[in-house]
Amino acid sequence: MSEETSMIALEIIGNAGDARTRYMAAMKKAQNGEFEEAEKLIEEGNEFILKSHKVQTSLIQAEAKGEAKEMGFLIVHAQDHLMTNMLLRDVIENFITLYKRTT
């Protein structure tokens, strides 16, 4: 795998990881009834997901133009990391809604 492709993968992983940190912190805030703070953390996490998603989209666009990057384990891991954190966000948003209902 080229250095460029490795850096792309690490950018996806890094941003998705930063999003995960925000989402987990949002869950803790919601558990404590701190809903405004939780929502702010979700929004911050979404910004990191957006950055990851833009990088992912650039890979898709490159492939569509016939300029596909070499796909190795690191890219697969990056894709998995991004998608897992997007799912985590959805689950945590539902938990926050449930916490709001019980307060």
Closest CA to 5 of 56, 65, 81, 66: 56
For 26-56, write each residue's pLDDT tens digit: 999 999 999 999 999 999 999 999 999 999 9
Give the CATH number, domain containing residue 20.
1.20.58.80
As a whole number of angstroms, the distance between CA 33 and CA 29 comes to: 6
As a whole number of angstroms, the distance between CA 75 and CA 70 comes to: 9
- The pTM of the full predicted model, rounded to 2 decimals, is 0.91
Q: If you average pLDDT over every residue of the chain, what do you get?
A: 94
Task: Give the chain's largest Cα–Cα span.
Answer: 54
Least confident of 1-10, 37-46, 47-56, 88-97: 1-10
As a whole number of angstroms, the distance between CA 83 and CA 37 comes to: 24
Q: Which residues are catalytic?
A: 77
For 57-70, write each residue's pLDDT tens digit: 988 888 889 887 77
Tally of domains in the chain? 1
Range of the domain at 61: 3-101
Distances (CA, A) of 53 to 16, 49, 101: 9, 6, 31
